[in-house]
Amino acid sequence: MSPFLLLCAAGLSAIFSSTIAKSPVLPLFASHLGADAAAVGSVAAVSAFTGVLFSIPVGVLSDRLGRRKMLICSALVFATAPFFYPFVTKLWQLALVRFYHGLATAAFVPVAMAHVADLFHEERGERLGWFSTATLLGRFVAPLAGGALIGLLAFNPSLSYKAVYMLSGLAGVLTLLFILRVHEPEKSVQRHQSWAEGFQAFRSIVSNPTILVTSSAEAAILFAYGTFETFLPLYALGRGLNAYEVGICLSAQVISLALTKPIMGRLSDRHGRPPQIFAGALLGAVAIGGFALFGSFVPFLVLSVLFGICMSTLTSATSALIADLSRTARGSAMGVLGSIMDIGHTTGPLVAGFVAGSFGYSFSFISASAVLVGVALVFAAVVLQKMHSV
């Protein structure tokens, strides 16, 4: 297998491993340990918080030490973290294991994306799209497998939780085996000669307005996605949809996102990335805001598919554009992207929850739409304006 196919296979198994460890087992396991709703939410947020903290340092280290070393470190966490869950008996222990497990995703995703970007230039957007599709497949299958396993062992909840985490651990070990076979071509690696040079390159990344605004565009679409995945079920059930129809809408969004990622990545390779990002943000605002205007299954399904395509349109171009702009510090740039997008994904449900509690669920979708419109206008002012002036 080529390095690219190995990275895609590792991405699928890694994200399967991390997702099955939290969906749907984590809230059930936390409740089993005696957690109330607030405690469940806090434990669930730990791994996302880890991503915010460590994506940037890991990206910087991958520029300095090489991608393969950092990928091996993250794969070691994937291969070991799940085997600690069966020994957890207290909530603080579960939070600690979640923090450790979160290190794996925080390290793996930005470094693997930087590695893919190193390997390709002309086809960069398309290849990043394929890698993202592989991870989305793992994210889609994991809850189905975890839920089925818990259902089969419903007679013994403690055993069902342990079985899910054993499956997560096996997927983590598989990830490590794939990563160990990935070799790092010398021509694809741009190591800095000193830490001072590495720090200088990182400063150039965080002071680049185009990179920061582009990362913010991805954070905005993930802010909207966090609102969508958290509150659409409650909103739709309140409008008379049943749980089966809600599940179809959620699945349709993921499938449309996964299927169109490579296509949108190829489109950005051929026709330019900034206009595609701007269009994806505006259309995404229309899609997420549209949920506030309808109350039946068919419009919800159409909007879910449209929102998935809009996410694909935007995110397939953002990562490729950042890779284009960060030739000597690509790991650092992907780390910045990962940290900012985690902030967006984490704050989406928090802000939308406050809005929904104060004004109703429909206004949570309107607020997400407003965030996307605002970021799109900033992107146009900073990036598109600069592109036209060159």
Give DSSP secondary structure letters for 216-252.
Answer: HHHHHHHHHHHHHHHHHHHHHHHTT--HHHHHHHHHH
Identify whether 281 is part of a domain: yes
378: how many CB neighbours lie within 10 A of its CB? Answer: 16
Q: What CATH number is given to the structural domain containing 278? A: 1.20.1250.20
Same domain, 250 and 132: no
Question: What is the rounded distance in angstroms from the CA atom of residue 238 to the CA atom of residue 300?
Answer: 13
pLDDT tens profile 312-362: 999 999 999 998 988 778 888 888 888 888 888 778 877 888 888 888 889
Same domain, 174 and 118: yes
For the chain, the first-to-last Cα distance in angstroms comes to: 42
Residue 23 pLDDT: 80
| Residues in the chain, total | 390
Per-residue pLDDT averaged across 221-248, rounded?
A: 85
pLDDT tens profile 296-314: 999 999 999 999 999 999 9
Structure-block tokens of residue 250: 């959620």
Residue 245 pLDDT: 87
Identify whether 343 is part of a domain: yes
Q: Which helix (H) or strand (E) holds 207?
A: none
- Residue type at 365? F
Question: What is the rounded distance in angstroms from the CA atom of residue 19 to the CA atom of residue 30?
Answer: 16
Identify whether 322 is part of a domain: yes
Same domain, 113 and 237: no
Cis peptide before 24 (omega within 30 of 0): yes
Domain of residue 62: give its range.
3-191
Q: Which of 171, 191, 211 is the last residue of a domain?
A: 191
Same domain, 132 and 48: yes
Same domain, 276 and 357: yes
Same domain, 128 and 253: no
Highest mean pLDDT among 228-232, 242-246, 321-325: 321-325
Residue keyed to tokens 């939780």:
161
Residue 140 pLDDT: 87
Question: What is the rounded distance in angstroms from the CA atom of residue 8 to the CA atom of residue 181?
Answer: 12
Same domain, 246 and 336: yes
Residue 138 pLDDT: 92
Same domain, 60 and 142: yes
Confidence of residue 390 (pLDDT cuts 50, 70, 90): very low
Same domain, 146 and 214: no
Identify whether 197 is part of a domain: no
Is it the case that residue 374 has pLDDT exceeding 90? yes
Residue 37 pLDDT: 61
Q: Which of 166, 191, 216 is the last residue of a domain?
A: 191
Residue 143 pLDDT: 85
Highest mean pLDDT among 13-27, 68-82, 317-331, 344-358: 68-82
Per-residue pLDDT averaged across 154-162, rounded?
A: 89
Residue 235 pLDDT: 86
Same domain, 221 and 81: no
209: how many CB neighbours lie within 10 A of its CB? Answer: 11
Identify whether 13 is part of a domain: yes
Residue 38 pLDDT: 67
Same domain, 177 and 235: no
Residue 40 pLDDT: 74
Share of residues in the chain with pLDDT > 90 (%): 52
Q: Which of 142, 161, 191 is the last residue of a domain?
A: 191
Share of residues in the chain with pLDDT > 70 (%): 94
Of 284-293, 325-334, 359-368, give the lowest mean pLDDT range: 325-334
Identify whether 275 is part of a domain: yes
DSSP letter assigned to residue 193:
S
Per-residue pLDDT averaged across 104-132, rounded?
A: 92
Of 72-81, 240-249, 318-327, 363-372, give the lowest mean pLDDT range: 240-249
pLDDT tens profile 170-216: 999 999 999 999 987 555 444 544 666 667 777 778 888 999 999 99
Overall number of domains in the chain: 2
Residue 355 pLDDT: 86
Identify whether 259 is part of a domain: yes
Is it the case that residue 376 has pLDDT exceeding 50? yes
Is it the case that residue 73 has pLDDT exceeding 90? yes
Residue 192 pLDDT: 47
Is it the case that residue 9 has pLDDT exceeding 80? yes
Closest C-alpha among 7, 175, 183, 182 to residue 80: 175
Q: Rounded to 5 degrees, what are φ and ψ at 182?
A: -80, 120
Q: What is the mean pLDDT of the chain?
A: 88
Pick the more confident residue, 38 or 26.
26
Same domain, 110 and 174: yes
